[in-house]
Amino acid sequence: MEISHSPEQPLELPLDIDSIKGFLDPQEGAALYRLAAEASDLGPCLEVGSYCGKSTVYLGSACKLMGNTLFAVDHHRGSEEHQPGEEYHDRDLFDERSQLMDSFHNFRSNMRAADLEECVVPVVASSAIAARHWNTPLGLVFIDGGHSLEAAMTDYRCWSRHVVPGGYLAIHDIFPNPADGGQAPFEIYRLALASAQFELVEMVKTLGILRRIQ
């Protein structure tokens, strides 16, 4: 079954999505919105890697519409590529006092501007720490955290097991060709399919949408 979405039809989001820092394509965001709405009958949604909240607004807006909850997991210290001297470093998100990246203030401001504070629950911790005692079944898990193989594998192992049968696992930045991008998300995507627990539903640009079948 394909998830119905029309990239040409803009979503009615609570604020200008382009004003939020991030790397999510609008077509991918629209697919996440509709996926979160569909998954809401199965359980709460969870994303790994919120950054400044672009994907959170898409997912959270759908959860708000459906009376559901989105857990947004991120330590807000930035991934490897966000650190000083790296390709995606943003000086505006660097905290001079701590000499560390800190996207949480920006994230929280965006949640307030989008009126999503009542349905988005920020979990300010690493993926492994947040998952340590997690027991809540999830209708949707969206993985868009660190892109090192270690980080991606940790995210997959921590959270994919909490997706309920019929629920969805979405993985961002899947590049089958190494020349197009890093391979860690593609590796966990392949691992999920090889597990025989997930089946591919749809690819939307670099967003892989899988359903748990057992």
Domain locations in the chain?
21-75+119-212
Mean model confidence pLDDT for the chain = 92
Mean pLDDT of 200-210: 98
What is the separation of C-alpha 75 from the centre of its chain, rounded to a whole number of angstroms?
13
Q: Which fold has domain 21-75+119-212?
A: Rossmann fold (3.40.50)
- CA torsion 87-19-74-99 (nearest 10°) is 60
Contact 143, 172 (CB under 8 A): yes
Q: What is the per-residue pLDDT for 91?
A: 79
What contacts 24+ positions apart, CB below 8 Å, involve 96-103? 101/76, 101/77, 102/76, 102/77, 103/21, 103/50, 103/51, 103/52, 103/74, 103/76, 103/78
pLDDT tens, position by position, 107-145: 999 999 999 999 999 999 999 999 999 999 999 999 999
Q: What is the per-residue pLDDT for 171?
A: 98
Q: Residues 76, 147, 162, 172: which is the catalytic one?
A: 147
Say which residue, 142 or 14, is predicted with more confidence.
142
180's CB contacts (< 8 A; 6+ apart) are: none
Q: What is the per-residue pLDDT for 6?
A: 44
Phi (first) and psi of residue 181, to 5 degrees = 170, 175
* Lowest-confidence segment of 55-59, 102-106, 157-161 by average pLDDT: 102-106
Q: What is the per-residue pLDDT for 85?
A: 78
| Per-residue confidence band for 3, with pLDDT thresholds at 50, 70 and 90 | very low
* Lowest-confidence segment of 43-57, 65-79, 149-163 by average pLDDT: 65-79
147 is catalytic: yes
Q: What is the per-residue pLDDT for 100?
A: 74
| Per-residue confidence band for 10, with pLDDT thresholds at 50, 70 and 90 | low
pLDDT tens, position by position, 66-111: 999 999 999 998 777 777 877 777 777 777 778 878 899 999 999 9
The pTM (predicted TM-score) of the whole model is 0.92
Cα distance between residue 50 and residue 130, in whole Å: 14
| Per-residue confidence band for 1, with pLDDT thresholds at 50, 70 and 90 | very low
